[in-house]
Amino acid sequence: MQDEIQQLEDQIRQHNHAYFVLNAPTISDTEFDRLVERLRSLHPNSPALTDVGSDLTGNQKRIVHSRPMLSLDKCYDLDAFTKWFDKIQGDVLAMPKIDGIACAIHYDDAGRLKLAATRGDGDQGEDITANVRRIAGIPQQITLKKIEVRGEVYMTLSRFRKFYEDEFSNPRNLAGGALKQKEPDKSAAYGLSFFAYDVDGSGLATEVEKFACLKALGFDAMPVAALHSPDECEQAYLDYKEKRAELDYEIDGVVFRANNVSEHARLGITAHHPKWSIAYKFQGESAHTQLTDVEWSVARTGVITPVAIFEPVWVSGAMVSRASLHNLTLFSALGLSRSAVIEVVRRGGVIPHVDQVIESVGEPLPYPLTCPSCGKMTVIEGEFLHCPEPGVCPDIIASRLLHFCSVLELEGFGDKIVRKLIEADLLKEPVDLFKLTLEQLLSLERMGETLAKKLLAQIEQKRTISLPNFLTALGFDDLGPTIAETIANHFGSLERLRQASFEEFTSIYGIGESIARSIPAGFKAFDKEIDALLGHITIAKPVQATFDNTHPLFGKSVVFTGTLTLLDRKEAQKKVRAAGGQTPASVSTNTDYLVVGDGPVSTKQKAAQKLGVPVVTETDFVKMMQ
């Protein structure tokens, strides 16, 4: 028995490390929970049972939490849940258990976002302030002071499926990696989201009041419901389980929490979890099936991704027969052989995933030494297998064209039609879409006149394209929709963008050196393609006027304080943005001017004086705007 206990403890610690540090779990949550329950039955006081799990890597600044960020106790059936519920006095609050990255955000005595940290080992986490500042759903300034907001950073399923599903295992792992990027601009490019679930320092008496407070402060707070009985809670659990596949975020259960904050103090905590909250987990439905093959698909980026093909099997309400294996590292770790028996799950109830190999038969399958599309010798870069010549690879060309059609929402231009057009030598690059004729389309096999006219009508509707959409459709490295929107709004026109220097890009909030280099490089690489497209399409003029880079406030960061008498503050901020400047809410080392109105010396003015930020009067500001 002692050998089994030691083995279980080692496995649990190993899987904790894979989940929290590597963001690459090798078993399902359900399988992990089974290991924990087995260890608990053999050795209830094992130290491994109180290990919260840690995302600390030793590379970042550590932040000590104001109170521990603990794990949650778990249950899987109504009997176990009812035993917990019976200890609670009063209502409980139900909310979805988001499968994301726990995060603590601190606001200072002026209500400004001061720092943010991961959960870490529960007592201290890693400093991720710069990256959290770039998550759109997190306010930089709030009306309350000296409070801490906790929540989950996650990636929406729709965004994951559209941009990342072929190369990454699941949204949670990708969000974890994106959140800990060393370059904040690269982190911002992933377009992460945030759900707030707790606020410390507010003095509120109930959880219901806390969530109302979070919503009023501008956070996306999770949907919650106050419930009165185990039966109501069970129904909420079943409702979430039923609508799980319809949500735009992954959930793996429902969290229940005592509504009255006084109950938190009465019940207390253990070294592992608070006694006043529990996670009612979904049963991890899985199925065993036989692998028949592994296909290798070539993505738009040149990454060659393994895809498991297996005997169709019913999992979590759907029949599945294939699942991405995501990268060469995971493929190699699984040791897949043809006819191996594998365990398949649908992560988040949606995404098919090969969880483990149950029985292997014969030698492991090799990875391809040549690109399955163009036949060139493959190269390994980190965890991924790559095609060495993406510019001439047929599958990469097809993927780029499909990406272009997808971003522009050209209905009807799916994989079959696009590949038919490529095979017929009618489509080589995006501009060819706008040259298609009825006669050319009718020459395709099984192409009727009605469908051909519909396809041409779709193309005609897309001859005017917004600048952000156009940039995203081109598919530059590091240029996703979030960055495209940012730079389009800043420069106002494609002409200005193509002429912009490295220094101009780095002056934009959220754009770091890496992206500031890759965007001009992209314009250079796609120069001829862009010119060809501009002969057939029009870039819609953005609402923002083209900025005059000689204006004294172009590219400047301007903060306002006090009561303005000549201008309304919102009007003044609008004028700065119209000149190509920024108007953050608080003073920092990046602030160029603090505009001071009437009133006593403010906290902002004191901060400006301390940091050496130029302070100007409202009258001087108006002169600068003229």
Residues classed as catalytic: 97
Q: At what angle do helices 394-407 and 415-423 cross, to 10 degrees?
A: 130
- Please report the sign of the dihedral spanned by the C-alpha atoms of residue 214, residue 217, residue 222, residue 227: positive
Which residues lie closer than 8 Å to 201 by C-beta, 6 or more apart?
A: 144, 146, 147, 148
* Cα of 275 vs its chain's centroid, Å: 31
| 275's tokens | 């006694």
Distances from the Cα of 389 to the Cα of 419, 433, 463, 550, angstroms: 19, 24, 31, 42
Residue 8 and residue 47 in contact, taking contact as beta carbons nearer than 8 Å: no
Residue that is written with structure tokens 């890009």 in the block: 505
- Please report the sign of the dihedral spanned by the C-alpha atoms of residue 237, residue 238, residue 241, residue 242: negative
Which residues lie closer than 8 Å to 408 by C-beta, 6 or more apart?
A: 462, 465, 469, 473
H helices of 223-357, in order, are 230-243, 261-267, 328-334
User: Which is it for strands 303-315 and 318-324: parallel, antiparallel or unpaired?
Assistant: antiparallel
Distances from the Cα of 22 to the Cα of 26, 172, 173, 325, 516, angstroms: 10, 12, 8, 17, 28
Q: At what angle do helices 230-243 and 78-85 cross, to 10 degrees?
A: 130
Q: Where are the beta strands (DSSP E) in 339-434?
A: 341-347, 351-359, 379-381, 384-386
Residue that is written with structure tokens 């699984």 in the block: 334
Three state DSSP letters for 258-310: ECEHHHHHHHCECCCCECCEEEEECCCCEEEEEEEEEEEEECCCCEEEEEEEE
CA pair distance 412, 78, nearest whole angstrom: 47
CA pair distance 282, 166, nearest whole angstrom: 26
CA 508, 511, 512: angle at the middle one, nearest 5? 120
CA pair distance 82, 293, nearest whole angstrom: 46
Give me the amino acid identity at 365. L
* Cα of 94 vs its chain's centroid, Å: 24
Q: Is 519 helix (H, G, I), strand (E, B) or coil?
A: helix
CA 71, 199, 214: angle at the middle one, nearest 5? 125
* Cα of 530 vs its chain's centroid, Å: 29
**How many DSSP H helices and E strands does the chain contain?**
24, 23
- For residue 364, the 8-state DSSP code is P
